[in-house]
Every structure is written in C-alpha cells, then in structure tokens.
A and B are shown apart, each in its own frame.
Chain A
Amino acid sequence: MCSGGTLSILRSDSYVDLSQYRDQHFRGTRYDQERLLRKSCTLYVGNLSFYTTEEQIHELFGKSGDIKKIIMGLDKVKKTACGFCFVEYYARGDAENAMRYINGTRLDDRIIRTDWDAGFKEGRQYGRGRSGGQVRDEYRQDYDAGRGGYGKTVQCQRA
C-alpha cells in the first residue's frame, strides 16, 4: 500500500459505531455481546408504526443491500406487530450502509432508528413490556396514533 496508510479522522465512521444500548437479556459477557455487535449483519429497527408492514421495511432497507431476513417484533400477548423489527443482511457492509443512510430517515412518515443487534434468537421477537408490547410504550405519556395511542400506564389511568 501507499506509504502512510490513512488518517484517523477519515477512519471515523460514527454512524456505524456501537450505541450505548446493550441487551440486558443477552446470554454472555458484555465483551461477547460487543464482539458480536461489531461483526453483526443484523439491525434492530425501532419507532415503527404498528401498521408498518414487512413489505415496506423490505423496500426501504433493500436500498442498502440484499436482505436475508426480516423478523417483525410482536406483542407477546396479542402476537401483533408492536413497532420494531430485525433486519438481517447477507453482508456486514450492507448493514453498515443502512446505519449510515437509512437510520434517522422516515418510514411510514415516522423517523425510524436503527442499531446493531447481536443476532436474532427465538424469543427476541417479543416485546418486553409488562403489557406485552415494548417497554417504551408502557410508560410514555404522549399520544401516538401509530403506536396504540397513549402509553399503557396512561391508558390504565384513563380507564
């Protein structure tokens, strides 16, 4: 290679860096999880509308490369979509491009968020909130028509 290599400012690829989130249910050490995250081809996608379909997700995320599998996040009780999913690519580079160019843009009029996932395991497709959906929908105070209206706690209060 050319003498000199590259510059660290050019190596920085902040959109691809790991976030602060670590899955508390992960079986293994923090180190194991981070190792898996760094070579993962799977993305967690959050802030989806409950009505967003696999087809829409496929169309959008297909723009950064060939998708191997999409797993829709489900309410543990109702078994209906609860606003997140996993997108697995064949190639890490394609997942990175999704982190760079699709994360933070809109799907179904909502700004969606992507993050690295250590890999799908059976059971991870279910929401972990007490009512069956995602934890964030348990406690939020705002009204979100695409995510079942008010947060679950608020719904209980209003009832």
Chain B
Amino acid sequence: MSRRRHSDDSDDSDGQPHKRRRTSEPSEIEERLESLICRVGEKSNSSLESNLEGLAGVLEADLPNYKSKILRILCTVARLLPEKLTVYTTLVGLLNARNYNFGGEFVEAMIRQLKECLKVNMYNEAVHLVRFLSDLVNCHVIAAPSMVAMFENFVSVTQEEDVPQVRCDWYIFAFLSSLPWVGKELYEKKDAEMDRLLSQTESYLKRRQKIHVPMLQVWTADKPHPQEEYLDCLWSQIQKLKKDRWQERHILRPYLAFDSILCEALQHNLPPFTPPPHTEDSVYPMPRVIFRMFDYTDDPEGPVMPGSHSVERFVIEEVIFAELFQLPSPPHIEVMYTTLLIELCKLQPGSLPQVLAQATEMLYMRLDTMNTTCVDRFINWFSHHLSNFQFRWSWEDWSDCLTQDLEKPKPKFVREVLEKCMRLSYHQRIIDIVPASFSVLSPANPVCIYKYGDESNRSLPGYTVALCLTIAIKNKASNDEIFSILKDVPNPNQDDDDDEGFTFNPLKIEVFVQTLLHLAAKSFSHSFSALAKFHEVFKTLAESDEGKLHVLRVVYEVWKNHPQMIAVLVDKMIRTQIVDCAAVANWIFSSELAHDFTRFYIWEILHSTIRKMNKHVLKIHKELEDTKARLARQHKRRDSDDDDRSSDREDGPLEEQIERLQEKVESAQSEQKNLFLVIFQRFIMLLTEHLVRCETGGIDVFTPWYKSCIERLQQIFLQHHQIIQQYMVTFENLLFTAELDHHILAVFQQFCALQA
C-alpha cells in the first residue's frame, strides 16, 4: 500500500507513535505488552527459544518506563497460566540475567502476591505461585538454599497446634507438588535438609486422619484400581520420582537452552516466608481421592488402538472423567464435559469415539461398586452424549443386565439412561433403538392417568363433581365458581361440616387436582397456566401441611408415568408457594413413594428443592445487606453534608426495612434448617428400620437398596456442605448422637472429617 494514500494527520502512515493522541498511548502499550507476554509459548513460526530471547529484549528495553506494568503482568501470568509455567520462568530468568534489580523486585512482588492469595483463600492459585517460585531456582533467579528454607517453613505448619488438618494438608501439597520441577536441583544443593523435610512429611502423612476418604471415593471397591487419597498418591509418586533420581520426561524446560546465559546470573534469596496464621475465615481446599480408570501405564500395548498416541487419548479421557466424577462436585458444570467430549470426538473422529466407547464399557462393568452420585453423573452424561449421536449404541452388549434383579446397579443404570434418552426424544424412539429384549427396561409411555376419566369409574366418590369441574373449567370458570362446585364434595375425614369446609379435605384436593391436571396435560405450559389461573384454589386447599402433602400425592398419581412432569410441577408449586420445601421432603420419604425411592428423578427433585431453599435464603440475605449498605451510605452523606436540617428521622423507613428483612432472614434460615432436619430425620428412620430388620433377620445389611440409600444420605452432606456446616451443632445435638447406629453415624463423622 502506497504511503501517499495516508497522508492526512489523523493517520499513522509512517509508524511514528508520536503522531497518535498521547492520552491513549499508555493503555495501548500496556495492552501490547500483555498481548506479547501472553502469546509467547503459543504456536509460532519461530522457535520458542528465539521468541523468548526476542521478548526478553523487548521487555528489557521497556523496563525504564513500564517496569511496574511488566511486573504486574508477569505476576498475573504466573498465577493464571500454570500450563506455561516454565515458559515464563525462563523469561524471568532471562530478564534477571540482564537486570538483576528487576529480578529481585519480581521475586518480592511474587511473595506479596502469594501472601495475598493465602489470605483470601485462593489456594489453587497459590500453588501455581509456589511452583513458579520453585522453578525460578532452575532459572538461577532464586538461590536453592532460600527455597529450601521456604519449604521448611511450609512443612513446619504440620507442627502447629489446634489447626485444621486441611491447613497442614495444603502446605504439604504445595511443597510436594513443586518437587517434580525442582526436586533435583534442591537435592543437589541441600540434600540433608531435603531428606529431613521428606522425612517430616512422611511422618505427617502417616499420622493424619483419613476418615473422609470413603465419602469421596467413586468406587467402594479397591479392585482393579485402588482409589488413593490425593496426598498419599502424590507421596508415592514423589517417592518413585526420587528413586528415579528426579528424571522425568514430561516437563518442558526451555531454560536448559539458555543455561550458559542463566548460570552467569546472580541469584536472589527469598525473604523468610512465614505462612499466614490460621483464622476463622480461612477455608482450605477439600481433600480429594484420585480417580483411575485405565491400566495403560502397566501395559502400554494393552487395549489394541490405532495410532501411536493412543496413550494420550486414554489420559485425556481419564482426566475428563476424573473431573466429571469428582466428589463433592466437579470443578465445572457437568454439561461442559459432555460438550467437551463431543468436540473431541469431532476433532479426532478416527480414534476418540472408540476410546470413549471403551471407557463407557469399563464404567458400565464397574457399576456395582460405583458411588450413586457418580452413577447419576454417568447417566446424565451418557444419555446426553447419545442424543448427539442418534442414540447409536450396541445395547446387546449389555444384555447381561437383563437377567439381573431390576434393582441391581446395571439394569437400574440402563433403565435410567433410557428414561433420560426419552426425555431428549420421545417414547417410540426409545422403543425403536433398543432390542426387543430390553423392553423390560424401557421407560413407561409418559401419559397422564385420570382416575375420573372412564365411565366405569362413575361409582367413585367425587366422580360427578369431577365432571362438573371439567365443564366449568372448559367454560373459563373463575376461582369462586370452582370453590362453589367443590363445596359439594363430602369430606371423608369428617362426620359433619362444622366449618366452611376449608379444612383438610383430601377428596376435594383429589377431584380438583386430578381434573385440572388432566385438562392441562397437553404441555408444561398448559399445566403452568392452570396452576397460575387457579392459584387461589390451590392455596386454600393446600393450606394445611396435610393438604400440601396430599396435593403432591395426587400430582404423583396423575403423572407417575411422566417423572419429568412431576418435577416441573413440584418446582412450580414451590415457587408459587402452593407447597413448601418441607412438604416435598416429607412426600419424598412417604410410603407411597417407597418403590420409586431409588429412582433418579426423586433425587433430582429433592436436590432441586434444597437448592431453591438455599437460593431463597441467599436472596433475602442479599436484600438485607443491600439495605444496610444504603443506610450506611445515607449516614455517610449526612455526615459529610453537615446539614443541620437533616435528622435521624430519615433513617426511619430504612431502619424499619432492615428490621423486617432481619426477621425475614431469620425465618428463612429457620425454614432452611428445618428442611435439613426433616430430611436427615427421615433418612435416619428409614435406615434404622432397615438395619434393625437385617439384624433381627440375620441377613446382610448391604443390599442394593441400602447402598443406594446410604449414599444418597452422603450426597445430601456433600452437595450442600456449606449450608449444613452452618447448622452443625443442631444436627449433632438433635440427630447424629452417639446412640445412632454406627453405620449412619459414620456418614456424619466422615463429613465432619472433611474440613477438620
């Protein structure tokens, strides 16, 4: 392009920055610096070494004017881009070689950042920083003895008294997980000290308690892969690495190419690092159990797969499934993993789908010992995955499950998968995709059951009223008209109608709810409109606790073939306050639902109910905090205004609001605590009944039902652990006392051990 075409002033034709407006310059330069630094190490036509050298030169030149920005950017990439750790440590190494002072300032900034992260409970990012610092030893930026000294301070946290184990765990983890990068170098310089540190670590690992482990394991069996607690696993790995004299081939080490430059550099000593003390606000990471799926490490030739990089495929999948099945929760939303695997199948259509099929097969084979929560996730993942691939699967391969009791994990899994597949398609599709032999596991046709629908039912009490109601509703009757029709319904619970008839009348509820739901059966929207239109009738009929329970029972009776509809109706009824959360909890544990108790949809409903309760509390709490903040701002304005005319009277409305909200928060929290009390109580009753029955009958406690039930109890603790922690004292005093059967108490104790 000819320069002539851009000769006006506003254009920068000859690349001279001074022609641009000066006000935009600094942020542009900063953006450019950030972009340059972030991009190094990415795909490039030049080698990594030449890119690093080039960048080091550019940054060195910019140091006089942009030092603090460069420091900030480098600290941020150290914290947020751990996958490029060694690229950036090398860069810092090169900068330190050219400018000793800068190296020193960077190290100081890193230490400040580390302290801040620890203070605000950002432990994952803190680990990245510790590893970065340790790799700086390899780049001759930090002197090895001072790194060892820092690790000595880390390990001595295990000597602190009255601190949670998870605090010590983190410092040990940060130390051990840095060793693959720097173990070799530290041992070369300070082997006696390192030996001492490892020995202290070993004795800590031996004496720490591991009560929490069963709760976090994906499988209850140790074969074929033991599920190690994460620190034990890491320790074994470090031991092996040490035995191999710290030789490993996975970590990219760009600084090796610059050895001649870097070893000329002067090193800095880390300032003495005191771990910030434990405070009440400290929240340390939860322990983990390491997930293993494949035996490829034992036998790389193992499963016959095309391609020389088959091991990578297995590793990728193992990592993805490890996250998906992580307890208490996956690091990311579940649906992300489904989409990720679909994308990977698209990118590697020749190999990944087969490996994925193999993984699915392996997981299926181990269903008998898989944790119920993980089975839920497996069901969700597999059905959603299939729906993206026309539900193609070799179901016959799984015909072994057809001969088993339907409550056993394998047939149960297939049933739930088919039900979920149906939700994403339609009933006939599912019948078509499975072999005829699988019909026993196929989901029911999701049709509504209307008890007053048939002429043959005309002898049922309430039949005529149902007919009346049907006609009335079709004729757009109002709530009042509905009430007057329902007045004619006798109350089987009472001999005489001594009041308005608005006390609990199960038959009224039955007739009304059955008829309405049947009329609105066409779609979710139709049913929601019906609930909205006749909200008043619902509220009145369901005023009492028994009323609420009965409404739920009738909903179930009408829609038991369509669990998805039950779930959305229950959700709507809670949100419109026709029923409350405790009613739903009681309904789930009622005897009417006993045979559906282990079905997936029941637990989806319960957890959704608990989440709504939790969100409700948070919402009111936030309202309270916002109002308090408004009051505080008002005070501040008044203080700074210095205006005698304004008075405390202005505070009145806000203060009243705060008081009301305070009451609302307390009442909501009380409802929340009560919900968990109900749930835990019902669990305890159910489990105790089973345990007593087994004991007296001399039969084995560990039936499929029992495994499912006790793991559902664990799931409550794990999925809502933050809320439950708030009410621990109540639960401990009221429910989880020493008199409880040890099977049940163990769950509680494992939970307590998670943050102990």
Contact = CB atoms under 8 A, between A and B. Distances in A.
Given A3-B72, A64-B335, A56 B80 contact: no
A38 B571 CA distance: 28
A105 B338 CA distance: 10
B425 A63 contact: no
B730 interface: no
A70 B524 contact: yes
B336 A3 contact: no
A77 interface: no
A156 interface: no
Given A1-B120, A55-B423, A63-B384, A7 B38 contact: yes
A54 B109 contact: no
Contacts of A1: 116, 120
B525 A58 contact: no
A106 interface: yes
B79 interface: yes
Interface stretch (A25-33, A95-103, A141-149): A95-103
B144 interface: no
Interface string A45-63: 0000000011110111001
Given A10-B80, A54-B524, A56-B424, A3 B564 contact: no
Contact of B335 (A6, A8, A102, A108): A102
A63 B335 contact: yes
Interface string B96-126: 0000000000000100110011001010010
B525 A7 contact: no
A8 B612 CA distance: 34
Interface in A1-44: 1-10
A2 B80 CA distance: 11
Interface in A79-138: 97, 100-102, 105-109
A72 B73 CA distance: 48
B125 A58 contact: no
A3 B38 contact: no
Contacts of B113: 2-4
Contacts of A97: 333, 335-336
A55 B333 contact: no
Interface residues of A, number: 32
Nearest to B384: A63
B342 interface: yes
A109 B429 CA distance: 12
B655 interface: no
Contact of A4 (B31, B76, B338): B76
A56 B425 contact: yes
A65 to B, nearest CB: 9
Nearest to A102: B335
Interface string B593-635: 0000000000000001001100000000000000000000000
B336 A59 contact: no
B533 to A, nearest CB: 16
A3 B116 contact: yes
A12 to B, nearest CB: 11
Given A2-B125, A8-B31, A72 B333 contact: no
B209 interface: no
A106 B73 CA distance: 40
A59 B423 contact: yes
B524 A55 contact: yes
A96 B112 CA distance: 34
A101 B339 contact: yes
B282 to A, nearest CB: 16
B125 to A, nearest CB: 7
Given A2-B122, A8-B34, A107 B424 contact: yes
B524 A3 contact: no
A106 B387 contact: yes
A2 B335 contact: no
Given A58-B524, A58-B564, A107-B424, A4 B384 contact: no
Contacts of B338: 63, 101
Say whether chain B's binding surface is mostly helix, strand, loop, or mixed.
helix
Interface string B16-37: 0000000000000001001100
Contacts, number: 97
B339 A2 contact: no
B390 interface: yes
Contacts of B116: 1-3
A108 B390 CA distance: 9
A66 B607 CA distance: 12
A103 to B, nearest CB: 9
Q: Which of A2, A60, A100 has the most CB of B within 10 A?
A: A2
A105 B120 contact: no
Contacts of B333: 64, 97, 101
Contacts of A5: 76
A146 B652 CA distance: 62
B388 A7 contact: no
B424 A60 contact: yes
Contacts of A60: 384, 424
A6 B80 contact: yes
B390 A105 contact: no
A2 B117 contact: yes
A54 to B, nearest CB: 5
B641 to A, nearest CB: 32
Nearest to B75: A4
B523 A105 contact: no
Contact of A56 (B38, B112, B336, B423): B423
Contacts of B75: 3-4
A64 B337 CA distance: 12
Contacts of B612: 66
Q: Which of A58, A70, A100 has the most CB of B within 10 A?
A: A58
A105 B34 contact: no
B117 A70 contact: no
Contacts of B122: 2
B743 to A, nearest CB: 34
Contact of A109 (B76, B390, B571): B390
Contacts of A54: 523-525
Interface string B325-344: 00000000111101100100
Interface in B564-605: 564-565, 568, 571
A56 B342 CA distance: 19
Given A4-B113, A10-B80, A53-B523, A100 B568 contact: no
A55 B388 CA distance: 17
B320 interface: no
A5 B424 CA distance: 41
B744 interface: no
B359 to A, nearest CB: 20
A100 B109 CA distance: 35
B77 interface: yes
A101 B335 contact: yes
Contacts of B608: 66
Nearest to A93: B333
A59 B379 CA distance: 14
B356 to A, nearest CB: 16
Given A2-B122, A72-B525, 8 more contacts: A7-B73, A9-B35, A55-B523, A56-B423, A60-B424, A97-B333, A107-B387, A108-B425
In the A-B complex, the 4 residue pairs with the closest CB atoms: A4-B76, A59-B423, A63-B335, A101-B339
Interface of A: 1-10, 53-56, 58-60, 63-64, 66, 70-72, 97, 100-102, 105-109
13 contacts: A4-B72, A8-B31, A9-B35, A53-B426, A56-B423, A59-B564, A63-B334, A63-B335, A63-B338, A97-B333, A97-B335, A101-B339, A105-B342
Interface of B: 31, 34-35, 38, 72-73, 75-77, 79-81, 109, 112-113, 116-117, 120, 122, 125, 333-336, 338-339, 342, 380, 384, 387-388, 390, 420, 423-426, 523-525, 564-565, 568, 571, 608, 611-612
